[in-house]
Amino acid sequence: MVRPIGILAGLGFVAVLLWSLVWGAVAFIQEPPQPTAEHEFHKHPRDAGLSSAGLLGKYDRQQLQRGFQVYKEVCAACHGLKYVAFRDLQDLGYSEAEVKAIADQWAIETPSVNPETGEAATRKNLPADNFPSPYPNEVAARAANNNALPPDLSLIAKARHDGSNYVYSLLTGYRDPSPELLREFPDSKPGQGLYHNPYFANLNIAMPPPIVSEGQVTYTDGTRPTVDQMSKDVAAFLTWTAEPKLEQRKSAGLASLVFILVFCFLAWGAYKNVWRGEPH
Amino acid sequence: MSFPWANQYNPKNPFMRWMDDRLPLPRLVYNAVGAGYPVPRNLNYFWNFGVLAGAALAIQIVTGIVLAMHYAANAGVAFQSVEHIMRNVNGGWFLRYAHANGASMFFIVVYLHIFRGLYYGSYKAPREMVWLLGLVIFLLMMATAFMGYVLPWGQMSFWGAKVITGLFGAIPLVGEPIQIWLLGGYAPDNAALNRFFSLHYLLPFVIAGVIVLHIWALHIPGSGNPTGIEVKGPQDTVPFHPYYTAKDGFGLGIFLLVFAILLFFAPNYLGHPDNYIEANPLSTPAHIVPEWYFWPFYAILRAFTVDFILPAKLWGVLAMFGSILLLFFLPWLDKSPVRSGNFRPKFKMFFWILVVDVLILGYCGGAPAEEPYVMISQVASAYYFAHFLIILPLISLSERPLPLPNSIIEAVLKGKSGSTLSTGTQTAVSAPAE
Ligand code: HEM
């Protein structure tokens, strides 16, 4: 009984699927899917060559500090870092006193309450505070950015495909739309307040190019602050904000692999030993 | 419940004897996974995956319970609490990556376990109940993993939940009330998150219970083996301990090796970047995809694009659930008396087509819903249903199985037992390529 019913049900599903296939094929031939501008002109991120990439890669502390400086002097005007606390910066090699000073002098204060009147107020940041958001809320953020919302950058390096390289590519990817693009897709000309960037998903981003000229940030460690260098540095910094435990993870991984390999070796020996002489 | 020649539990230690008279738990363990359980001597590495699935469940339960101590199931703070685990909880990153990748490892070993059963005909009499209980475990796992993925409350958590619960809306009349009842609202929200957390905590223990039944049912006829012929006498078997505990120990090592590589060196490889963006009901991701282990089923769901008596969406839902439910009927669809694919030339060929077919479905399920993926999914889904519902019932009528060995020990001595470690490799009938 099961088999006849099964065969009938099977024929039913197969028939409906092939019916769908025929209709899909007809539609495909009559109206082949139109290529889109994103399909043809979107680019995959370029390799930033960060030291944290690769199996055993580690962060370059100098670079993270430079990247932090770029974030502080350029990006922080528009982007928050709400999952990162000032004290986490000690990880980058800053001393406790330096972190305290950084928090204290941060341009944006942390929301608080006036202890006398109970009214909303702000106070200076403490090392235990997370980075304050540059805008009080989403409406304010959009109002200041042509109705676009600058996302929080804490996790950006994990929230995009190939995120670290993406940040670097995005920052260095601003250019005029190519003539081929404008010829094929006249509509993709960036509108008011938009900028062409082939690394951005829909090719037109609302963020004005943030890093535009050499020396925009003055590095204290002697590195030449080219546009490319600053973009790489801030990409490294944002990789760290997204994955602060990367180094612990990799070294724990290495230790685990050694341990597990020894275990496998012993287990293999035990297995061979137990089965010796036993036909199987 | 076991073979007459099984070793008998015979405690020497006075405490163990005292215990045995009062609560014979050690006896139970001895008979279930100790020296008291005789197992065919010719099992190959495909028989490791059941134990590995058990190990994966244990890892999920342990890491999950500790995660739950730090996680907050509230839509306002869930995402943040996961970031808190990743950044501030001691070893929190390890727990979370272990749990997320542990779920993937769980599905990898369970899929291999299921395909082992499909190839060697493990679902056939007298082991139908083992197979059915296994499918119950598989369904519970899928429910658990689906609800677990909602907990971090990222974009894919939210939109995945919305799409999957939205499927119930395809059921005529009662669909929408069921959907609202399941979610506790019109869209996933705090109510849904809380009940998902509650159930996500509960179901793994239900799974553990069903695993006990699964093994109990297995131990009535005893384990199958790559030849598919039954155990005839003591010379065919070895005691589970130490023979298979040793082999499973080695298998566990390899499992942990793969797990560690994923967890420590590519922890986000199998995940989706959008889940690092907090859930936002107002912003739909460009491509909504479930976790990789659901991709074949997702492809089947999306393969139905044309209304035919029933709406296309309902067909998709029926087919997606049907693709799993049909496995419950497999013992009665495939009536060939020969179990092992090693001795069934036609079956073997179709089996490997099925493997490739499911891989194709998986690929299409993860791809965007556009051509050519939809058309490929349609062909692949059609083969999937045809394989189980039409081909398997029919091939046993025309297939001429190869001659079976007389006994396991005879096959072993001739090097034809199907155990991948057999010394004689000049076999006419080889084990499936790995
Ligand atoms: C059948 C076994 C289990 C499976 C397949 C499973 C699967 C999952 C998955 C896929 C996630 C999402 C991971 C992510 O992307 O972050 C998750 C999260 C979670 N699970 Fe489980 N789980 C299992 C058992 C358990 C158990 C026993 C607990 C204990 C209460 C638990 C507690 C949690 C918690 C608190 C989260 C949210 C934290 C997080 O997202 O990392 N799980 N689970």
* Domain coordinates in residue numbering, chain A: 37-84+150-248
Q: Rounded CA gap, B26 and B365, in Å? A: 47
Q: Tell me the C-alpha distance between B219 and B41, whole Å.
A: 16
Ligand 1 atom 23: the closest Cα is on which residue? B60
Which class is A37-84+150-248 in CATH? mainly alpha
- Residue to substitute from B87, B282, B396, interface A, most A β-carbons within 10 A: B87
Cα angle for residues B400, B403, B408 (degrees, 5° grid): 135
Best residue for ligand 1 mutational test, from B69, B89, B200 (most atoms within 8 Å of Cβ): B200
Please check whether residue A186 is in contact with residue A197, taking contact to mean a CB–CB distance below 8 angstroms.
no
Which of A5, A8, A11, A13 is the best mutation test for B, with the most CBs of B within 10 A? A13
Q: Kindly report, residue by residue over A109-128, the tens digit of the pLDDT.
A: 999 999 999 999 999 999 99
CB B384 within 8 A of CB B357: yes
CB pairs under 8 A between A and B: 174
- Separation of alpha carbons B235 and B411, rounded Å: 12
Residue with the smallest CA separation from ligand 1 atom 27 is B61
**What tokens appear for A65 in the block?**
């500090």
Residue B272 has which token pair?
């989706």
What dotted CATH number matches B42-287? Answer: 1.20.810.10
B370 is catalytic: no
| CATH code, residues B289-402 | 1.10.287
Q: How far is A190 from chain B (nearest CA, A)?
A: 20
3-class secondary-structure state, position B10: coil
Identify all chain B residues contacting A11, using CB atoms and an 8 Å cutoff. Answer: 389-390
Domain boundaries, chain B: 42-287, 289-402
pLDDT tops 80 at residue B431? no
Give the chain B residue nearest A273 (alpha carbons). Answer: B246
What's the pTM value of the predicted model, to 2 decimals?
0.94
* pLDDT, averaged in runs of 10, over chain A (280 residues): 94 96 93 88 96 94 98 97 97 97 95 92 95 94 94 98 98 94 89 94 95 96 96 98 98 97 98 93
- Residue B22 Cα distances to B15, B17, B26, angstroms: 11, 9, 11
Q: Is B41 in the pocket of ligand 1 (CB under 6 A)?
A: no
Q: List Cα–Cα distances, B410 to B124, B229, B231, in angstroms.
A: 23, 11, 11
pLDDT of residue A1: 87
* H-helix or E-strand spanning residue A205: strand A204-205
pLDDT surpasses 50 at B423: no
**What pLDDT score was predicted for residue B411?**
94
- Tokens at B91, concatenated: 């070893």
Which of B160, B133, B156, B152 has its CA nearest to residue B327? B133
Q: Cα(B295)–Cα(B367) distance, rounded to whole angstroms?
A: 9
Pairing of strands A120-123, A195-196: unpaired
- Taking contacts as CB-CB distances below 8 angstroms, the residues of chain B near A262 are none
CA distance B106 to chain A (A): 19
Residue with CA nearest ligand 1 atom 42: B64
CA A275-A277-B2 angle, to 5 degrees, is 55
pLDDT in tens, B230-280: 999 999 999 999 999 999 999 999 999 999 999 999 999 999 999 999 999
Q: Which residue ranges of B make up the annotated binding site? A: 99, 113, 200, 214, 219
Kindly state if the Cβ of B201 falls inside 6 Å of ligand 1: yes
pLDDT on residue B1: 52
Separation CA A27–CA A29 (nearest Å): 5
A159:B390 CB<8 A: no
Whether B223 sits among the annotated catalytic residues: the reply is yes
Q: Which of B81, B122, B248, B323 is catalytic?
A: B248
pLDDT tens readout for residues B20-47? 999 999 999 999 999 999 999 999 999 9
Check pLDDT > 70 for residue B425: no
State yes or no: is B219 an active-site residue: yes
B414 catalytic residue (yes or no):
no
Which residues on A lie below 8 Å from B394 (Cβ)?
7
pLDDT at A99: 98
Asked if residue B418 has pLDDT above 90, the reply is: no
B248 is catalytic: yes
Dist CA B12 CA A155 (whole Å)? 60
